[in-house]
Structure 1
Amino acid sequence: MKRSSGARLCATAAIGALSLSLLTACSDEGSKDTTDPKTSASSSAAASSDPAAKALTEAELEKLLLAQGELKGYKVDSGDDTLPASKSVVKTDKPACDPLAWATAALAPGDTDASVGNTVAEDKTSAATAKPTDLADAFDIDMTFVGLSSYAGDGAEKAMKAVSDGVAACAGGFGLTADSEKTKITKIAAAKGSGKGDETVAFTEEVDMDGQGKATAHAEVVRKGNTVATFYTVNFAAMAKGGDLGTVPAAVIDAQVAKLK
């Protein structure tokens, strides 16, 4: 996906934590569970990707992304103004943690150039996710950054392993720089995932909110064949208060994985 170099601050914030200063800037602009929380890898990992398969192109991946109107109660946006342009602007101080940072930024967690992304947010005007619309509630919206990446051979499985290994290696946290903004991830923990696709890795990250408490965000990575889908959810109202920023909506995972080949 061609992504603009403009208003990426909202995405930069969400990658690491959406610090309070960046939040101000942005204001201007149940499924089945089969994962083991100790390993975070789905027990369905036995289903291997096709070793002879070729990676899909970005154009082909674009057609597999959720589109507006395909998921009731949610708005889908291209993400051009909210997602990082490339992996080069998302850096950590521990290489083993790179796949985690990329996964939370809708970027490919593995070694591939075939990657696209978008954002899927609650639609408050829809009856499916209707909420009060007063000013105090304006930021009470769950937004999920969705990324798709495709790999040749066993590349998708290697990408999943990199994420799983990163969850273990980065348990004590890491430093993150995204578009020159620095964030401290203080803790990574394995979590129960949806069990969708052929393999699932889920984790939570605890983020330092510029010394004003901590926030916990949720991420999930799902492999279906040679395609890997990443999901990272933040609630902007919750971020202002700290604490839990909201889990990845099951409806978003279900709908996106259902579109994968």
Structure 2
Amino acid sequence: MKRSTGARLCSTAAIGALSLALLTGCSSDEGSKKDSGDSKGASSSSSSSSSSSGSDAKALTSAELEKLLLAQGEVKGYKVADGDDTLPKSKSAVKTDKAACDPLAWATAALAPGDTDANAGNTVSADKASDAPTSLDDVSEADIEDAFDITLTFVGLSSYDGDGAQKAVKAVSDGIAACSGGYGLKADGETSKVTKVAKEKGTGGGDESVAFSEDVDMDGEGTATFHAEVIRKDNTVATFYTVNFAAFADGGDMGPVPAAVVTAQLGKLK
């Protein structure tokens, strides 16, 4: 992502946070999920083993995956939204200059990292509305800065026939090694350069997990570090990718994928 994209997302998030605070008694009604089958995912980089899905495994439908996504009220201290305004609509909107890096790019966009059409995704963010002012007259510069200090996690679910889920996780793992030196990325018309990819330890869980970090060039003004996790449970793969908008603006570290979000999402998978 380039800084221009980040500015757009930051503005959306900040305005949304303040608006929610100004709507008295409204914590968040945004538990609805997308009705389309497109979704995004984020990824993780530690590894567990074990293989629960077999050759006879059947993929869940996109509609079934939508029901398994986290909903409002299922993660204490977090808000859930459908992600329609922030997530790419399909894999065709996310392209890299190295085929081996495609699964990484898809996972960080809440899209299926493997070969499947069964996909769903949403976004989860820390709920800061209770600390925000309740009147526009009370909004200070510090309140505006605080509104940008939002951590947003893109969550994607995808499901596969047979051993497709294992292949999807392997594609991500292979991609981390193949793309360690970076790759070019074009998403929704914005171009950016990932300068480094590294495997790391994530929350883990499920039957297999892999986590990684990506350093992204900030238009020649330093780099920002993003973190992702990809976790398989049976023949469903969950992806997680986190952005902190305040850190993004400064070109810093986005921070880890929230363990509470990962644990809650895995708890809903069959």
TM-score (norm 2): 0.82
* Residue pair 1:143, 1:233 contacting (<8 A) in 2 also: yes
Q: State the one-letter code of the partner of 1:216.
A: T
Aligned to 2:128, what secondary structure does the other structure show?
Answer: coil
Contact 1:55 1:151 in 2 (8 A): yes
Aligned to 1:147: 156
Asked if structure 1 preserves the Cα contact closer than 8 Å seen for 2:46 and 2:200, the reply is no
Deviations 1:60-99 (A, max 9, x none): 0001000011111001001112110100010000000000
Of 179, 197, 207, the match for 2:206: 197
Q: How large is the RMSD of aligned CA atoms in angstroms?
A: 1.7
- The residue aligned with 1:12 is none
Q: Provide the C-alpha distance between the structure 1 equivalents of 2:118 and 2:103, rounded to a whole number of angstroms.
A: 15
* Aligned-partner residue type, residue 157 of structure 2: L
Share of identical aligned residues, percent? 70
* Residue segments in structure 1 that go unaligned for 5+ positions in a row: 1-15, 30-39
Match of 2:121 among 114, 117, 122: 117
How do residues 168-179 of structure 1 correspond to structure 2 at under 5 angstroms?
Answer: 168-179=177-188
Distance 1:64 1:49, change over 3 A: same
Q: Secondary structure at the match of 1:53?
A: coil
> 1:21 aligns to what?
4
Match of 1:69 in 2: 73
Distance in 2 (alpha carbons) for counterparts of 1:169 and 1:142 = 29
What residue ranges of structure 2 are gaps of 5+ in the alignment?
13-44, 132-139
Distance 1:223 1:148, change over 3 A: same
Amino acid at match of 1:52: D
The corresponding residue for 1:216 is 225
Give yes or no for the alignment of 1:82 onto 2:91: no
How far does residue 208 in structure 1 lie from its aligned partner after superposition?
0.1
- Separation (CA, whole Å) in 2 of partners of 1:147 and 1:76: 13
User: Is contact 2:7-2:249 (8 Å) kept?
Assistant: no
Deviation of 1:27 (Å):
4.1
1:54 aligns with 2:37: no
- Residues 145-188 of structure 1: CA deviation (Å, up to 9, x unaligned): 00000000000000000000000000000000001110000000
Distance 1:126 1:228, change over 3 A: farther
| Conserved? CA contact 2:46–2:203, under 8 Å | no
State the SS of the aligned residue for 1:54. Answer: coil
Q: Residues 29-72 of structure 1: CA distance to partner in whole angstroms, max 9, x if unpaired?
A: 3xxxxxxxxxx452x32223132111000110001000011111
Query: Secondary structure, in 3 states, of the residue corresponding to 1:138?
Result: helix
Contact map agreement 2:9 2:86 (CA 8 A) in 1: no
Structure (1 or 2) with the larger CA radius of gyration: 2
The answer as to 2:247 corresponding to 1:243 is: no
Distance 2:97 2:10 in 1: 29
What displacement does 1:26 show? 2.8
CA distance in 1 between counterparts of 2:235 and 2:130 reads 34
TM-score by length of 1: 0.85
> What's the counterpart of residue 267 of structure 2?
258
